[in-house]
Structure 1
Amino acid sequence: MRRRVLGVAASLAALVAATVAMAGPASAEDDQGAAADAASRSAVRPSVLGAASEEDDAGIAVSIDDLNPRVLTTQDTVVVSGTVTNTSGADLSDPAFDVFMRPSTPVTDEELTAFLSGERWAGQQAGTTQLGHDLAAGASAEFSVTLARADLPLDDSFEWGPRGLTVTAASGDARGQDRTLLVWDSGYDVSPTLMDAVVPWTADTATGAATEQRAALSLAATDGVTLAVDPELFPEEAGEETASSGEGGQSGDAPQSQPASPSASSSPSASASPAPSSSSSSSGDGSRTADKRLVDELLSTAQELIALPRWDADLGALTVGGSSDLMDLALDSRTTFTAALRQESSRRPGGGATVIGDVVWPTTAAFGLQVLQRFQDQTIIAPPGTVAPAEDLSFTSVSRVEIDTGSGETSTSGEADGTVTVLTSQQAISDVLGWDASSEADQLDAEQTLTALTAIITREKPNESRTLLAVVPRGTAVDADLVGRVHALLDQRWVNGTTFSAIAASSPTDQGREAIGGAAALDQSTTDAFQAVSDALTQTAALASALKEPEVLTSTIEEAALRMLAAGTSAEERSDGITRLRLETARLLTSVHAEPTSTVNLINKTANFPVPIANDLAWDVTVKVTLLPSDPRLRVTDTQEVTIPAGTTSTVEVPVSAIGSGDIEVGYKVTTPDGHVLDDTQSVTVRMRAGWEDTGTAVIAGLLVVALVAGVARTLGKRMRARRTAPDADTPGTIAATEEGR
């Protein structure tokens, strides 16, 4: 086992953009950062595996990479293989290897840790060998040592279980060693421990890769594994969604119809058929990663599935925060998802997987009496290591605990009125299951430690079968390494995999546990998040009422809300998400507004006042438009209700009447059809000259009359002058001229 003290990965900043995707899908770079940071959450070395020892590397670094077999039964030999590296700075002459095994079995995980940290005697020598060649400075080489069973200190079959194994390397003054565990199964008769492992598969860590999907299916098909799945992983179907009444109970849900969200990127994932898609999503954020084939296989192979709320929203934090709107949103998403999976599962031969919709899995910060009282009729998964025995016990108590919701005390007499079922788990097992092992040696140590821990638990009471829950931490990548760790936990003779429902229905402990008090006050970032989300939902609800399909707008905020309040979200991510949420809300609320205009001249007593309205949303919006005159000489005679097409600016004509003259200020007021103000910030100066139209008409008419009279007078004058100057009509010349003209 190569000793490495691994720190938490550098920064979670890259996850921010993927945490709250308001206006559209996250970029590929953001998605890659999110996946990397999610994996880093489990990068800290579990304390049960111990820390590095000064003797581990004094010029020679030794790494035990594999054991064959890892669990020794009737085999005659054990092969120990690994890697040796020269860190001395000088060439080493043919290093020698010695292998030691402890002659006794640790009976507690503390003893296991002490050995792995180098605080215990290495044991008896079990084998030796040479590398067979010199090792240059900085060079590495593989080694292998074969141990004969006869040379191993394995005598008493009752002493079955983990044995400490140490490999040392030496050359001159250079030394080095590594430690791991070999598990001996002597065949001693025991009553197996019944165990179920809950594995979260959520959108915050999912990648959509084929290897991940294969790992998920492998886990789902494993006896003793229950996947807790996020609706965001599953494809949705346009049309009606199937929901159930209540809060996702295991039975008795009456399906009802709910409208599906038109937004494909943000509506609740569960639908009447959760698998209509023909191909998986290629986006890196993990949302909608499942395709129909995968869902079919998942529902056909899994014994049980736990339905989570969208984005694995922390129901504990929602309870402590007291946000009824967000709680309803999260529970509705879980209820809808549960009903959809059940309907789809029922189509499989034999009924398919059992879908559990009444499980609450709070984070450590939000776990307390508030959650127990709020969800008294459901099953609570306690954070690993909490609800510990009140006194030191020589054995591991069963996982099911009945807690009185009034006092927080354990009901040692079992289930009763006023109690709630709480399932506990071991911290050490959870830590190792969630560890992101970075090498073959680390993966070997993780798997062997899990096998060793279950052996220690079974040996505590070999004649009594107990029911235990194991919990994989949120943020753990679903991959082949996790599959290996889970199988190391469950695939042993002394462990029988069972179902989550069996654990929840098993006999509760009669041992007193530490009393559960109220959850501590939420940190400031979470408190601010609740306020920001509540404000955003309230404000956008008014704007949404102006849309034909309000869900297309509110779903944007809803997705951001649940994703920001996901159980795996850090305080830093929430704080950055708050800023993004507020900016996005402000943008949405100013997307429908009146455009500024120049001075308007109004000379009529009645007119249609032009108001330009811009709609920057991606959807048509129906609004009412009116005016707010600063002077009663201008009155609005009617308010106009119009539909503004998406992404356009339209001029709305508001009927007005005016009396008198003067310059006044007129404000524009844009509201939803039910009266919520969208914009009243714009105004315009109006030069009002009411009556000028009548005066102008009279003046023009008078001028026309004068012109007509003048024209007639001029014509008559011309005729009179012409008559005075013309010859006498009775003279012979005139008569002759007249006859000629005729």
Structure 2
Amino acid sequence: MTPRRASLRPVAVLTAALAAVAGAVVPAGLAAPAAATTDDPTAEETGLEVEITDVGSPVLGPDRPLTIRGTVTNPTDEAVETADLRLRMQRYTPISRSALQRWLEPDSYSTTVLLAREDLPAALPAGESTTFSVTVEDVPLASAHYAWGPHGVEVEIRDAADAEVEGADRSILLWYPDLEVERTPVSLLVPLAPNLAERATSVADGRPVAEVAAPRLLELLSATDQPGVTTVVDGMLLAPPAGRPGAELGADAATGSEAVEDPTDPTAPTDDTSDGATDTSTDGAVDEATAEPGATGTAGADATATEDGTEAGSDPAGGEPTDAPAPEPTDEPPPSGGAADLVASVTDRADATDREIRLLPWADADVAALAHTGADVLLAEQRDRSTAAGHALGLASGTALTWPDTDRPDQVTMEAVARAGADAVVLPAGAATPLQELTYTAAGRADLQLADGTTLPAVLADEQASAVLSGRLLPRAGTDGDVLDLDPLDARQLLLAETAVISRERPADPRAVVLALPRDFAGDPTALADMLAALMAAPWVTPTTVSDVLATEAPALERGTLPDIEVAAGELDNAVLRAMDAVVAEAASFASITTVPDEIVEPVERAVEQVLSSAWREDPGAREDLIAAVRADVEALDTQVTALPSSTLNLINSSADLPVHVRNDLDTDVTVQVRLDPTDQRLQAPDAVTLTVPAGSQATAQVPVRAVGSGDVPVEVELLTADGREVGTSTDLQVRVRADWETVGTAVAAGLLGVLLVVGLVRTVRRGPRMDPDEVVPDPEEAP
């Protein structure tokens, strides 16, 4: 087994001279990976590349042959005519985990015994590869307690004609004769939560996060279907998807607006059957026949027209809606098969007796970050939401076990999770290291001291063994080496070896080993399943759930205290929480004008709560993008309730009602306050008017105004919630105010009447008094 850096293949070059005599015990050395020895890609290759691909059964028993298979590649420019293969094995079992890991280090030496030596069956041309297989029928290992456990094996291949052309690879076999040992409890924690990429894809595609994450998580669930596994599930995955904000109300761009009549469309039918002379004003708006040339009055054919000439006053006065048909409701798509299968798999796992389900806080909230920001209430809410989602599916488990996603836990976090109701916590073992130097691996169980004198039970995940389970090899304690990649065979055999060494450290004192997969695990599920099957079936292991580990007493070890506070890079802070609150508040403000506010607010809360996930630590900028995306969805709701534009309105009285048309593209009624905000004191609109606009329709509000002067006044039409916050989309109107026309007209009429009166009097005086028609007038020629 030779671990590799990054994606380099496991290749080793043997540098120490190995004895050629069968049965000799010699020190063997392993150099660094050949592919990493030079930065020059054109450098000449001088060694063979050897890789062990199979060691047979994960655990070798007595009377069973050992078969080692692998490949050898000749990257040099010269053919190897005769290749000499030697198989060696450690005679003794490593006494510690440190000694076990030292076998894997390139420059280490170990006492080995030669098991087999043979030539490859054919020459190895330059640039070619071939396979090999070596079988040892009788492995020289004793059937005793001191001999069972891991033994390193090494395959070395060299050119018989040139000893400098050589290569080697190492692995580990597990030897277990017919004997009984105290079994070591082994537990595995599996986080079932979306990773950063899945959460980001969910936001970008507008798909439920459970649907996006289901393919990976279903494979993970299947691979970890073993006894002793505790699956810790993000409660958000168990709840029905909430959809995009406003989607259930037809707020998508292609739904409501297409189904509602556009009042600016000249072909749109209206309720108005007149020729355009209907007066919508009772006390001051004038018909165009009485207005100055070019003016449009509030009662004339153009008085309520829109800018393209269509009548905007087709609604009956008083705000009655048109009879435009409402759009068909848009149903939220049902959960995808993957998401539904995920829920079913979780509930099935919960029914097993040797496995268990626990819950993470909703959206796998960053427990440490919420503790650092003092958001105890929010942390408790996220825990409660997950518990409720689990109970809705009949899951008895809750969030009593808290698993902060941090490798540097602190006292502030522990105090916060205890206040939130946690009765146990998962920590990396390195966070609670015993103060005294131990010659064995301590149990993965501890009690943490809290400020109030109480203790918080903890399970401690073994970082080294957990890394191996994930296919990584951490540097040995006290060294500064790199983290190396392990292939599936190496990882399986090393994990078995780690647990065997732990069992051998104190054979009469079985101590629980807790393993934990990382939240972003993206390894090969097939390899993981093979590894876990071999581990849980090992004769020195007893599968144990985390609940069983917590039921044991913590060993009486004095441990180091946690730091007061450790804020990790990328944690969310109070600024992020304020931004979340602002988006939800904006959604709640809009929702208050509808009859179904929960259908708007809940999807927004569900979407923005993903911000709380610890996954965003890797990319805080993506967290900000998520908030911006949800905010954009909320702001888009304003386009669904719109104050419509209108042509210029004439106002010739000192007071009148101006018509304002409002369109509602949602699938629910809305009630808004319509307010006019003139830009000039010559027109005043002191009062807003309440208007209810049915779903998928439009209505008109008659807003009272008062004129105190003359002039052209721009007016902004605002739509408000009941508590006065702006909502929807506003528009602008142009009002031509002629408040003195009424006074001038009255004066002119009075003057005309006065003139007519004077003229009549003058004519009457000139004619003299009228005579009675029945009176006899005397003849002037007749004498008296």
- Place the TM-score, normalised by the shorter chain, in its bin: 0.7 to 0.9
The verdict on how the C-alpha distance between 1:300 and 1:388 changes in structure 2, with shifts beyond 3 A counting, is same
Give the aligned residue type for 1:658.
A
1:360 aligns with 2:396: no
The verdict on how the C-alpha distance between 1:580 and 1:213 changes in structure 2, with shifts beyond 3 A counting, is closer
Partner SS for 1:213: helix
Indicate if the aligned counterparts of 2:407 and 2:427 stay in contact, CA closer than 8 A: no
Pick one of 122, 127, 141 that aligns with 1:138.
127
The verdict on how the C-alpha distance between 1:55 and 1:436 changes in structure 2, with shifts beyond 3 A counting, is closer
Higher helix share: 1
Counterparts of 2:430 and 2:514, CA distance in 1:
12
1:673 aligns with 2:722: yes
Indicate if the aligned counterparts of 2:465 and 2:495 stay in contact, CA closer than 8 A: yes
Partner SS for 1:398: coil
Partner SS for 2:461: coil
Counterparts of 1:626 and 1:95, CA distance in 2:
93
Of 394-403 and 673-682, deviating more is 673-682
1:675-690 alignment, distance < 5 Å? 675-678=724-727, 684-690=733-739
Partner in structure 1 of residue 110 of structure 2? 121
Of 317-326 and 66-75, deviating more is 317-326
Percent identical pairs in the alignment equals 29
Partner SS for 2:487: helix
Structure whose CA Rg is larger: 2
Partner in structure 2 of residue 177 of structure 1? 168
Partner SS for 1:677: coil
Partner in structure 2 of residue 202 of structure 1? 193
Partner in structure 2 of residue 290 of structure 1? 341
CA shift digits 1:133-162 (9 cap, x unpaired): 112222222211001324x34465323211
Indicate if the aligned counterparts of 1:532 and 1:578 stay in contact, CA closer than 8 A: no
Counterparts of 1:183 and 1:217, CA distance in 2:
26
Give the aligned residue type for 2:337.
S
Counterparts of 1:228 and 1:460, CA distance in 2:
30
The verdict on how the C-alpha distance between 1:646 and 1:60 changes in structure 2, with shifts beyond 3 A counting, is farther
Greater relative contact order (Cα < 8 A, sep 6+): 2
The verdict on how the C-alpha distance between 1:524 and 1:60 changes in structure 2, with shifts beyond 3 A counting, is closer
Partner in structure 1 of residue 564 of structure 2? 518
TM superposition shift of 1:599: 5.0
TM superposition shift of 1:367: 2.3
Partner SS for 1:562: helix
TM superposition shift of 1:422: 1.8
Counterparts of 2:414 and 2:464, CA distance in 1:
25
1:19-38 alignment, distance < 5 Å? none
Counterparts of 1:615 and 1:541, CA distance in 2:
18
CA shift digits 1:708-732 (9 cap, x unpaired): xx9xxxxxxxxxxxxxxxxxxxxxx
Give the aligned residue type for 1:371.
T
The verdict on how the C-alpha distance between 1:481 and 1:692 changes in structure 2, with shifts beyond 3 A counting, is farther
Pick one of 353, 374, 379 that aligns with 2:416.
374
TM superposition shift of 1:326: 4.2
1:219 aligns with 2:224: yes
Pick one of 535, 548, 551 that aligns with 1:489.
535
Partner in structure 2 of residue 724 of structure 1? none
Give the aligned residue type for 1:190.
V
Pick one of 456, 467, 489 that aligns with 1:431.
467
Indicate if the aligned counterparts of 2:5 and 2:485 stay in contact, CA closer than 8 A: no
Counterparts of 2:334 and 2:633, CA distance in 1:
35
Partner SS for 1:536: helix
Indicate if the aligned counterparts of 2:230 and 2:357 stay in contact, CA closer than 8 A: yes
Structure 2 residues without counterparts, runs of 5 or longer: 9-29, 37-44, 199-209, 251-332, 474-483, 760-784
1:158 aligns with 2:137: no
Pick one of 271, 281, 284 that aligns with 2:337.
281
1:46-445 alignment, distance < 5 Å? 52-53=32-33, 58-118=46-106, 119-121=108-110, 123-150=112-139, 152-154=140-142, 156-171=144-159, 172=162, 173-204=164-195, 213=218, 216-217=221-222, 219-220=224-225, 222-234=226-238, 236=240, 280-281=336-337, 288=339, 290=341, 294-295=345-346, 297-301=348-352, 303-323=355-375, 326-341=378-393, 343=394, 345=395, 355-364=397-406, 367-376=409-418, 377-378=421-422, 379-406=424-451, 418-435=454-471, 442-445=487-490
Indicate if the aligned counterparts of 2:431 and 2:562 stay in contact, CA closer than 8 A: no
Indicate if the aligned counterparts of 2:232 and 2:357 stay in contact, CA closer than 8 A: yes
Indicate if the aligned counterparts of 2:141 and 2:147 stay in contact, CA closer than 8 A: no
TM superposition shift of 1:97: 1.3
Partner SS for 1:402: strand
| TM-score under structure 1 length normalisation | 0.73
Pick one of 587, 590, 595 that aligns with 1:543.
590
Partner in structure 1 of residue 504 of structure 2? 459
Counterparts of 2:428 and 2:137, CA distance in 1:
44
1:9-20 alignment, distance < 5 Å? none
The verdict on how the C-alpha distance between 1:418 and 1:90 changes in structure 2, with shifts beyond 3 A counting, is same
1:475 aligns with 2:520: yes
Counterparts of 2:577 and 2:462, CA distance in 1:
32
Partner SS for 2:414: helix
Indicate if the aligned counterparts of 2:90 and 2:113 stay in contact, CA closer than 8 A: yes
Give the aligned residue type for 1:164.
G
RMSD: 4.1
Partner SS for 1:157: coil
TM superposition shift of 1:401: 1.3
1:522-601 alignment, distance < 5 Å? 523=569, 526-527=572-573, 528-571=575-618, 573-582=619-628, 584-585=630-631, 588-589=634-635, 591-592=637-638, 594=643, 599-601=648-650
Counterparts of 2:335 and 2:604, CA distance in 1:
27
The verdict on how the C-alpha distance between 1:154 and 1:58 changes in structure 2, with shifts beyond 3 A counting, is farther
| TM-score under structure 2 length normalisation | 0.69
CA shift digits 1:40-71 (9 cap, x unpaired): xxxxxxxxxx9944599952111111111221
TM superposition shift of 1:188: 4.3
Give the aligned residue type for 1:484.
D
**Equivalent residue pairs, number:** 610
Indicate if the aligned counterparts of 2:214 and 2:342 stay in contact, CA closer than 8 A: no
CA shift digits 1:52-93 (9 cap, x unpaired): 445999521111111112211223311111111111232222
TM superposition shift of 1:623: 2.4
TM superposition shift of 1:169: 1.1
Partner SS for 2:614: coil
TM superposition shift of 1:525: 6.1
Indicate if the aligned counterparts of 1:543 and 1:589 stay in contact, CA closer than 8 A: no
Partner SS for 2:727: strand
